[in-house]
Structure 1
Amino acid sequence: MDAFHFTLTPDEKHYLKELVRLVIVARLAGREPPLPPPPTETLRRQFGAFVTLTIDGRLRGCIGHIVGDRPLYETIAGMAEAAAFGDPRFPPLSRREFENVAIEISILSPLAPCPDPALVTVGRHGLLVRQGSRSGLLLPQVPVEWGWDRETFLDQTCHKAGLAQGCWKDPKTTLFWFEAEVF
């Protein structure tokens, strides 16, 4: 996989983080969130993205859209709302929690079939495993945060899909990889 050569300026990153905050604050107030126009054309490009919310380093919500099929700023706004209020693992975010929430955004390169699991680099690649109707995705930063090696990362991606460890070795399993701009 060629390196993902997508980067954002500090101002673009600031706009996206503020957009996440704006969407969550509006929804907490029961209002439709306004979407201020993006300051650059880059933010109108179509990329998949994830919004991750944490409180004191603990996951509080993480939702993403893998396929880049709408402008990035719209995807980020939608994923912000979904991470705060629609992650089935957590109750909706409260006003009190919002005061302590940390925001992380991951902008994804397009998915590509992984030609050889031995080429997966921890910290560089994210993975999606698919077998039948089951699939699981882990972002590139996850194995770094947990101190996993390549094989553990592959196994944990299978686990996220509800599949047995080692499923990535099964010819019925499809393995995709991607890179991300994370901030």
Structure 2
Amino acid sequence: MSLIPPNPTTSEEDFQVCTPEHCFYAFDTLFTTLTKKKAIQPKFADEKFPLFVTWNVRCPGKQPRLRGCIGNFEAQPLHEGLSEYALISAFQDHRFRKIESRELDSLECSISLLTDFEDASSYLDWTVGVHGIQITFPHPSFLASDRSEAPSPLSSSSSIPTRSNLKHSFSSTYLPQVAEEQGWNKIEAIDSAIQKAGWNGRITEDIRRSIRLRRYQSKAYTVGWDEYVEWREANGGSM
């Protein structure tokens, strides 16, 4: 009997790249850090991938709620990268308080291994549900056509704004599943990514057109606490 039930969001191709073992290893890193139990050593290949580790809280009858998500676009050896970002996303995501041991049995862990990076021809050159987006764009005051429209980031200050004290560029990313889960079209996803990057002014078409966009895909898998406990006990670990 298989230890792991089929994951409905994971294709056969995904499963060949991102596996339950990657999720279990990340879960084990968090569990043993919080409980001081002995960790189980990874058995999967120590390949290199850009990766993200996501923690969600499972709510009965509702969609899982984000609890932390941080990763790296530089290829990481999986043994080190998964253990490092399992803890960074659990403890250092500034949007959330640190995950505590009392929350463990409500968590699920999603691992995304990023692949197929491509430079897009425009901010619309990607597909919802297929591509993640990584955007960068300059401060709107550096766009000649937008200087009169962009609100001053220092409008409430007595200091006179200068180009030297503006943030020169902004960047953010959304994993491939985010836009589809949120029900966004491309424009809505782009505008949300612009705000996520830290721009709080009016979003104009000139700002959108100034975006440099890299699209990418991910191979992902998700496991919950019960699956992790079964795996850990099957591998001789104590709870």
TM over 0.5: yes
Counterpart residue identity of residue 126, structure 1:
G
The equivalent of 1:53 in structure 2 is 55
CA 1:36–1:121 in 2, change beyond 3 Å: closer, same or farther?
A: same
Alignment deviations for residues 131-166 of structure 1 (CA, whole Å, 9 cap, x no partner): 244211111100111100111111111111112535
Matched, 1:178 2:184: no
Aligned length: 171
- In 1: Cα distance, 2:120 partner to 2:40 partner: 36
The equivalent of 2:69 in structure 1 is 62
Runs of 4+ in 1 over 3 A off after TM superposition: 6-10
Counterpart residue identity of residue 126, structure 2:
V
Bigger relative contact order, structure 1 or 2 (CA pairs below 8 A, ≥6 apart): 2
- In 1: Cα distance, 2:113 partner to 2:97 partner: 25
1:139 is aligned, of 149, 171, 175, to: 175
- In 2: Cα distance, 1:148 partner to 1:24 partner: 32
- In 2: Cα distance, 1:101 partner to 1:180 partner: 21
Unaligned runs of 5+ in 2: 1-12, 138-167, 222-239
Q: Give the share of equivalent positions with the same residue, in percent.
A: 27
- In 2: Cα distance, 1:9 partner to 1:118 partner: 30
More displaced, 106-115 or 91-100? 106-115
- In 2: Cα distance, 1:90 partner to 1:118 partner: 31
SS at match of 1:112: strand
Which entry has the higher C-alpha Rg, 1 or 2? 2
Unaligned runs of 5+ in 1: 1-5
The equivalent of 1:168 in structure 2 is 208
Alignment deviations for residues 31-72 of structure 1 (CA, whole Å, 9 cap, x no partner): 7x7462433x3xx2211111111112111111111111x312
Q: Residues 99-110 of structure 1 correspond to what in structure 2 (within 5 A)?
A: 99-109=105-115
- In 2: Cα distance, 1:22 partner to 1:45 partner: 19
1:30 deviates by 4.9
Alignment deviations for residues 68-95 of structure 1 (CA, whole Å, 9 cap, x no partner): 1x31232121111111111111111111
1:123 deviates by 0.5
CA contact (8 A) 2:122 2:212 kept: no
Counterpart residue identity of residue 98, structure 2:
P
